[in-house]
Structures are given as C-alpha cells and as structure tokens.
Structure 1
C-alpha cells in the first residue's frame, strides 16, 4: 500500500505529525519548567491532597511506573509504547515485565550520572588496575552517522572546563575529535573510521588484549554505510567477511568494556530533485546489512550489544519526511539559521543523516541505558 494512495488522510494528519515531531524537542526545554510548576502546585495550601495528586497523576502518569533499567538498546528487550493515535510514546518503554518510564536527561542529570559512574568505577571493570585511571572513557567509532550520535551525546556535557580538539569542530569533519573535562573526569572521543579495515581491527585487538589507558569503558561503533557505496565496491560478500573478522575481536573486548554496535538507521527514500541519486544507500539495503550484522555478532554468543531500539523513532521521522516532503526548518544558507550540526541535520533534505527531532530522542535513550541504574 502506497502512502500516496492515502493522500487525503495524510493531509488530515499533517498537524498531528508536526506536533509530534516538534513536541518531543520542545519537551527538552520545558520539562524543567514543568517540574517546578508541579512542585509548587503540590505545596499549595488551597488544594486538597487528593485533588493535587489526581492532577499530578494526569500531568505525569509515568510516575506511577518504575524507571526503565536494563538493556534499553535492544529492541527485543524493550520497545516503545504506542499512543492511541498510533504514534510512539517517547517517554515510555514496554518489556516482558510491563511498562516503565524514561527519564528526561538534562545537563544536570548527566553531571550526576558521570559523578556516580566515577564513584562506582570499580564495578565497571573486573581489572583493579583500571580503577586508577583518571577519566571515564567513551568512544564513538565509525562514519558520519556515529559522528551524529557523538555530537548529540556531548551536548549534555557542561562547559565547566570542556575542551575540544579540534576547536571549533569543523563542519562535516572527516577526522578524530576529542572532548575532555577534568572536572567531570570524562573523555569522549570520536574516531573517524567509516570502513572496517586493518586499522580498525588492530585498534580493537589492542584494546582487547592489553590494559591500555586508551581502552574505553563504553564503545559505540558502526561502519556499514560506506561499504554500500559504489566507490568502495558495494560488495555485500566482502562486508560479511569483514564483519566476521571483526566480530570475535569485539567479543573479546566486550569482556572488559561495554561494546555497543549501532544498527544503521533507515534512510529517507523518496526521490526527485537532489535525491534522484539516492540509490547506493536505501532502507531496503540497510535492512539487509543490519540483518547479516546481527546474525554474525549474535552467533558469537558474546556480550556485544546491538542498538536497534531507536530505529522506530527514525522510521517515524522518515515516514513524516515522505508525507510532508518539505523541510522541518529553513535550509542551510539562510542567514537566520546557525551553521552547526544540529541545524544541518534538522531537515528532511538529508536522506542519509537522521534529523535532530529523532536523533535527540535516541540520545535520551542512550543516557537512560547508561545512567538509570546509577541514578536510582
């Protein structure tokens, strides 16, 4: 069934779709304000306790639930609850044990999480030597899609003494990036590795077999899209061979670090205009590569985790782009739009890079996975 055959319905649902996309973004900024208003209401002398609690329950129904804890990144263990209108509820997940709620992470929450992770460092690794390291180490390794996740992750690191190398970060930077904060004791690295090659396998091997201070506590990686490009062979069989060689090393590293493989997000696949050349990287091909990646990595029976629970968020985003066929925001080049990564990926014109509306929710899910057990 084609979307275009239901064009009248799509138009009637246009307002709802736009509200869903931007409502999730707006909640990032208004939730602290709402929290203050709710606390003030609870303290007000003119309300009965029962009445206040009834209002409070309507405002924050998730408070009746427990916070989501566990492997939130695997869609087979947790998935998003759907609202009555069929859209995803980005504040609630469902597992075999029932629904739970997601915390909305702010900079303040992130700082608390990093502090508690630092104090519990002896629980992160089995090797006591690692407890003497000065920094919590996060590594994002892969292509521009992983770079997007990295850039959204560091948005929640405050500017106390945050240092960036390079500074400023160049637009579309095809190189490594380092973010450090001595006050927080955090180091977050992006390593530009768009292809699985000898450099990647040797780096993973060294981290797995040696007690290097460069070895991360968490590593998020994915390097699939470039293997689909004609300029790099577009060889599905070769990709299978490469991921089969890398898999055992990742499994070995997963014994001492948290290893998370990001499944490639769906792309925006409608054609026309600048999208006419969108044939190398399309959702159907991405699905095939993701499928073989999961099959190979899971066959190893290691602690490697596959992050695919954010895919439904991106699927909604790509569907909305297909229906709307318009930018979410003014195009890059408009002097009223700041030139930064967030605005660059905020529109439906970029068919490969997911828009910020969905990506910000994925970052929230990542922080919930890393931090919720520390915050409770």
Structure 2
C-alpha cells in the first residue's frame, strides 16, 4: 500500500515522463503541451476533490492512521480497545528444573502470558514490544514511578527491558535500598527514569505539588498506593479522603480537564504545559494465608481489601470513573496468574509486572498515536 509520499512521487513521475514519452512518439509540440496541461489540471482537481469521495478518503485515512513496528501494524483509532488491554491469559506450568524441596515457590514454575484470542482483542492488534521498540517509544522521555514496593518492582521490570543484565543487577542493588529514591539516565535512549518512595497517598500528593511549584512535569507518571496505608493505618475511609485530595491536586496540574478532553482548560491549570500520561498502579491480589507476618494476615484481610478497592472507585481517581489516571490493573493480572506466581502472597513474579508494562506500552500507543 502506498503512503502519501509515494503517491506524490508517483504523480510527479506521471506528469514528467508521460509527456516525454509522447514527445518520443513524434507528436506535435502543441499536442504534448496540451496533454501535459490537461494532465496536471486533472491531478490537481483530483487532489482537491478527494475528501468528497468516501472510498478514496477512507483509503488515504487508512494509510495515515497506521505505522509498522517490526511488521506489526499500529492503528491509531483504537480507543475502544483500552478496556480490553487486561484481557491476558496465563499458562503456568512446572519448570523443567522443578524442585519440590525448593522454598521459593515461584521459581518452580514458568509463567507464559499472552493477550486473549477473543476476536475483539485480536482486532486491537496488541503487541509485545521488543527492546528496540521500547527504546523508540520512550526515547527522550522522562518517566517517573512513585509509590510503594509494588512501584519499585514495576520500575525494576522497566529497567530489565531497556538495560543489559549487568546494568540491571547494578540498578537492583541501588533500587532496593530500603525506603530510598532512585534515579537513572539511560544515555543511549535519552531516557530519564525516577523512582520516588511514596507509600502513602499524601506522599504522592506532595510529589504532585512539587511538580506544580517547579513547573516541570514528567512525560509518563505512574503512581500507586494502598498497601502501606492498609497495613499501618487500616482506615479505608481515610484512604478514600486522601485519594480525593490527590485526584484534585493532579487535576489542577493538568492543562486540560480529564472529562472534557482537549477543549476545556482545567481550573487552576497551566494551558501551555503538555499533559503527562498518567497511570495508576493498582494493588495486587493479596493471598492472606501466604502473608509473612501475623500483623499482615490480620489487617490485610479479604474484607479490608474490598473496602480499599471500593474507596478507589468512589474517589473517582481512575479515568473510567471520570478521573485522570488510567488503571494498570495488577489486581486482575496477579489474580489470574495465581498462587504459583508469588512467594509471599503480596509481591508477584516478574512476569506479572512485565505483562503490566506491555499493557502500559500499548496504552501509550493508543493514547499518544505514537508511530515507532
């Protein structure tokens, strides 16, 4: 299929070489000039009338609305596919080196994931990006991840996709220093990546307020909170209040209102600032019997998980409820991966976070109409 540039070159060749061919047939000079002028006018009129012919218009639109990433077509108009991003199927099977005496449960199993083969999902053409595609997608970007231990593991999974194994291990040693922030610049892709230790919702609000004070905003912002509040505060209604404060702070930071799209400026916002891509890292499915302390098993019960989940919905922090953040649903991915994908009932195997990263990448492709 021809692109716009190829079509232009083809038209130029027609205008140039057809009259030359006619001249070669010994036609009169006046006939050649007449034909050249008629051909040029026909092509010019055709270009201007193209939008009024649906079939031609649709063809050109289809050319403009897609790009190729390693022979996979990325279609821009896929907003309806966002709700299907988490339709991921798991195959969890014993590892070839299965050791029944191994204490680390998750190491005994291989985890394979893929998007569901439902027709509606297949039509969205979701893709697992290779390293070079990730480098292209995030080239020159500032990515910030802020939250608790889930956010820290998510950050490490991202680094595992863009760094070699030696640099990943070096990053791991720094990243997992207790309750510390982490910063890295990946020079070959111009990527600036920050992890901010912010286990409570009010810590996240402070991060947002710092953005507003400095008038500096990341291109991609991933936030998540809940586990620490559930364990140390154990007050779902207070959690909901803090989430609403965070939502209000983030909404005032945006150049446009999340409900109104690109037409209506948000109250208190700075219209000249480009809106960051916002993602909310949901809490994982907690397996109470596997939690490693009595305090966790008592406070992080199934009932309390349900109360905290309801507060997330009531706070309207998520885009599906009119808020600014698109959900990265670790809860559903970890639930579907199951008990064989975790060792402590809270932190899941790397495959879960890798799958969520690719959900985010595909969401970015849809949201930003990125062409790799």
- The TM-score normalised by the length of structure 2 is 0.58
Counterpart in 2 of 1:304? 324
**What displacement does 1:137 show?**
0.8
CA distance in 2, matches of 1:71, 1:208: 29
Is 1:374 the counterpart of 2:350 in the alignment?
Answer: no
Cα separation, 1, equivalents of 2:148 and 2:288: 20
Q: Which runs of 5+ in 1 are unaligned?
A: 1-62, 119-135, 322-346
| 1:55-74 deviation line (CA, Å, top 9, x unaligned) | xxxxxxxx999769756996
2:349 aligned to which of 346, 355, 359? 355
Q: How far is the alpha carbon of 1:299 from its aligned partner?
A: 8.7
Distance (whole Å) between structure 2 residues aligned to residue 112 and residue 100 of structure 1: 21
Q: CA deviation at 1:153?
A: 1.0
Query: Which of 80, 86, 90 lines up with 2:87 in the alignment?
Result: 80
Larger Rg: 2
**Could you tell me which residue of structure 2 aligns to residue 9 of structure 1?**
none
Mapped to 1, the partners of 2:291 and 2:155 lie a distance apart of 31
Query: CA distance change for structure 1 residues 207 and 96 in 2, over 3 Å: closer, same or farther?
Result: farther
**Structure 2: unaligned runs, 5 residues or longer:** 1-70, 91-110, 256-274
CA pair 97-148 structure 1, distance change in 2 beyond 3 A: closer
Q: Which residue of 2 aligns with 1:248?
A: 248
Q: 1:70 to 1:267 in 2, by over 3 A?
A: farther
Matches within 5 A, 1:153-302: 153-159=158-164, 168-169=173-174, 171=176, 173-197=178-202, 199-208=203-212, 210-212=214-216, 215-229=217-231, 232-255=232-255, 256-270=275-289, 278-298=297-317
Closer, same or farther: CA 96–285 of 1 in aligned 2, 3 Å? farther
Per-residue CA deviation, residues 143-201 of structure 1 (Å, 9 max, x unaligned), is 0011111110111223599799978425453110112123311111100011123x532
Conserved? CA contact 1:224–1:264, under 8 Å: yes
TM-score with structure 1 length normalisation? 0.58
The CA deviation at 1:216 is 0.8
Higher helix share: 2
Structure 2 CA distance for partners of 1:253 and 1:95, relative to 1, 3 Å: farther
CA contact (8 A) 2:157 2:354 kept: yes
Give me the whole-angstrom Cα distance separating, in 1, the residues matched to 2:79 and 2:329: 10
2:119 maps to 1:108: no
Report the counterpart of residue 139 of structure 1 in structure 2. Answer: 144
Q: What is the rounded CA distance, in whole Å, between the counterparts of 2:318 and 2:135 in structure 1?
A: 37
1:364 to 351, 355, 358: 358
Cα distance, 1:78–1:259 mapped onto 2, change above 3 Å:
same
Q: Which residue of 1 aligns with 2:31?
A: none
C-alpha separation in 1, matches of 2:175 and 2:253: 31
